[in-house]
Amino acid sequence: MKLSELFFKYRSYTPIPFIIIMIFYHDSNIWSIITGLIVASSGEFLRLWGVSWAGSETRTTGSVGGTYLIIKGPFGHLRNPLYLGNILMYTGIGIMSFAIFPWLQLVGLFFFSLQYHLIIKEEEEYLKNTFGKQYDDYVSNVPRIIPRLTSYKVSNILQPGFSWKVGLRSEIRTFQAFGFIIFTLVILWLLRRS
């Protein structure tokens, strides 16, 4: 199994060691809590917006695949909004915890950037083979991870329907994990203050 396939399959579990370290070595303050929460929440909103277009296909853990070349919503601004959302969430949680700051956050940023780089390369190969010229045009107009200001618009590419309801349903596990981690960090911060 290639490293990219391994990262893809276990991408939901790779944050766990970082989260454990953040909880054990937390050194939160009011500013780290507020700043981190803003950064992490912006990442979760980006994810929610993305899965409201992409649906539950984003939850696959077997092999890379997809039914549509999605170019609407956040996908019109960057090709990988869910991965940027994840990086913002992990970075925000790292800021909230203020654990071993800034070294743990930098190591996490490096690790997740490498992980997503490898996963994205694997996904891009699938998309190029599946969607050909449409994907080539998309790649030449939409950045991989840094958003462009205006949305890419092409009318002849079939798109799935947009649904906040589908997005919310798809994000339930993420909301639960996100809420639990934030709750834990806030409680630890409050206990340390008393």
What would the pLDDT profile of 80-111 be if each residue is shown by its tens digit? 999 999 999 999 999 999 999 999 999 999 99
What would the pLDDT profile of 46-55 be if each residue is shown by its tens digit? 999 999 999 8
Instruction: Return the pLDDT at 62.
Output: 56
Q: How confident is the model at residue 59 (pLDDT cuts 50, 70, 90)?
A: low
Instruction: Return the pLDDT at 58.
Output: 65
Instruction: Return the pLDDT at 92.
Output: 96
What would the pLDDT profile of 117-172 be if each residue is shown by its tens digit? 999 999 999 999 999 999 999 999 999 999 999 999 998 999 999 999 999 999 99
Rounded Cα distance between 160 and 154, Å, is 14
Residue 100 — left, alpha, or beta (φ > 0 → left; ψ -120 to 50 → alpha)?
Answer: left
Q: How confident is the model at residue 60 (pLDDT cuts 50, 70, 90)?
A: low
What would the pLDDT profile of 8-45 be if each residue is shown by its tens digit? 888 889 999 999 999 999 999 999 999 999 999 999 99
pLDDT at 66 over 70: yes
